[in-house]
Amino acid sequence: MPLLDIRNLSVSIPTPDGDVHAVRAVSLEIERGEIHGVIGESGCGKTMTGMAVLGLVPKGARIAADRFHFDGEDLSDHAGRLRGRRIGLISQDPAAALNPVLSIARQMDDVIRAHRSLPRKARRAEAAALLAATGLPDPEKVLKSYPHQLSGGMQQRVVIAQALATGADFLIADEPTTALDVSVGAQVLDLLRRLVAERGLTVLMITHDMDVIAEACDRATVLYAGRSVETGPVAGVLKQPGHPYTRALLAALPDAAPPGARLAAIDGSIPAPRSVITGCAFAARCPQAMPLCSAEPPPERRRDAHRWLCHLPEDAA
C-alpha cells in the first residue's frame, strides 16, 4: 500500500467570474522511503496538490477525489490533524517561509512546543540538535539570529529543521532549491537525500526543474493543466518519455542550458484555468495532435511501472 494514494484529485476555487480549476485530475502513488518528484510549468497545479495534501487550500475551495488517502487515512477528513504531525512542508522561498520579525530560536521553539511537551531547556537543546542535523555549523549562533541575518542556504536548512521538529515522516518539499544558488541548491538536495536515508522519510518534491528530478528523485509525475499526464521511475520518464508534453519539456531543455533553466520554450500557452477541457489538455499545443485528441479524454498507456495518458499508440512514444 502506497503511503500517499491519490486518485483523480480535483481542486476548484469559486470566484465571481466562474470556478478556477486549479487541479483537475491528479493521481499520485508515493511509496514509503522514496523521493517522488512532481514536475510541471507554473499554473499546472503542482503546488495546489501539495496544499491539498496539507489541507491548506484557499477558503471556499472544493476538493474532490476518487481516493485521497495518507497511510490509510482519508485526507479529506484528517488533513488538518495529520498536518504538522505526519506531514510536513518545506517551502519554496525560505526567506518568505520564516517569520521576519521573530528570532530563529522563537520559531523553532514554537514548533517543538506544538508537538512535544518538554521543559524549556530541553526544547532549546532539541532545537540546536535539529539544526545541527541539517548541517548548520553553529546552531547556537543561528538560534540567536533573525532570518535576514542568515544566508539562503542556512534559511532553507532552518526550514528543514523545523519540518523535522514536527516529527513528520512525510515531507512536501515545494521547490526547495528555486530560491538558492545552484551549488547551495545541490547541497540542500544532498541533505534531503541523506535525511531520507537516515530517518526513513518520504518526500514529495515539487519542482519545475528537470535537473532536480534527475538528481534527487526516485520516481516522478508530470502535471499538465491540473492533470497528471505521466508517472513512473525517473529513468523511464526522462529517458523514454511517453507523453508528448514530457517530450516537449525535455526537448525545450537544450543540453547546454544551465541547470535550473525555466521551462518556457514550448509554443502556445496552457489552457485558461477557468476553461472546461473535454479532450486532452495538451491537444492545442501538441505537434502530433489528431482531431480525436480535443474531443475525447486520452486513454492510459503503460510500460511496466511507467504510465501516461495519450491517444497516440504506445509505440509512437
* Binding site residues, other proteins, CB under 8 A: 17, 51, 54, 56, 59, 83-85, 87-89, 91-93, 96-102, 110-111, 114-115, 146, 148, 159, 162-163, 165-166, 172
H/E element, 202: strand 202-207
Shortest Å, Cβ 84 to other proteins? 2
Distances (CA, A) of 121 to 6, 113, 118, 140, 162: 41, 12, 8, 13, 17
Q: Based on CB atoms, which residue is closest to other proteins, 143 or 317?
A: 143
- Quickly tell me which residue has 504510465 as its cell: 307
Shortest Å, Cβ 170 to other proteins? 12
Which one, of 274, 275, 282, 285, lies nearest residue 298 by Cα? Answer: 282
Shortest Å, Cβ 91 to other proteins? 5
What would the DSSP string read from start to end of 139-163? Answer: HHHHHHS-GGGS-HHHHHHHHHHHH
Report d(CA 16, CA 31) in Å as an integer. 39
Q: What angle do CA 130, 103, 113 make, to 5 degrees?
A: 55
Q: Based on CB atoms, which residue is closest to other proteins, 92 or 246?
A: 92
Shortest Å, Cβ 284 to other proteins? 24
Q: Based on CB atoms, which residue is closest to other proteins, 162 or 228?
A: 162
Shortest Å, Cβ 142 to other proteins? 15
Shortest Å, Cβ 87 to other proteins? 8
Q: Based on CB atoms, which residue is closest to other proteins, 98 or 248?
A: 98
Q: Based on CB atoms, which residue is closest to other proteins, 85 or 193?
A: 85
Shortest Å, Cβ 103 to other proteins? 9
Provide the 10 A C-beta neighbour count for residue 93. Answer: 17
Report d(CA 228, CA 231) in Å as an integer. 7
Q: Based on CB atoms, which residue is closest to other proteins, 147 or 242?
A: 147
Q: Quick check: 209 and 178 in contact, CB under 8 A?
A: yes
Helix, strand, coil percent content, the chain, rounded in steps of 5: 40, 25, 40
Q: Based on CB atoms, which residue is closest to other proteins, 29 or 110?
A: 110
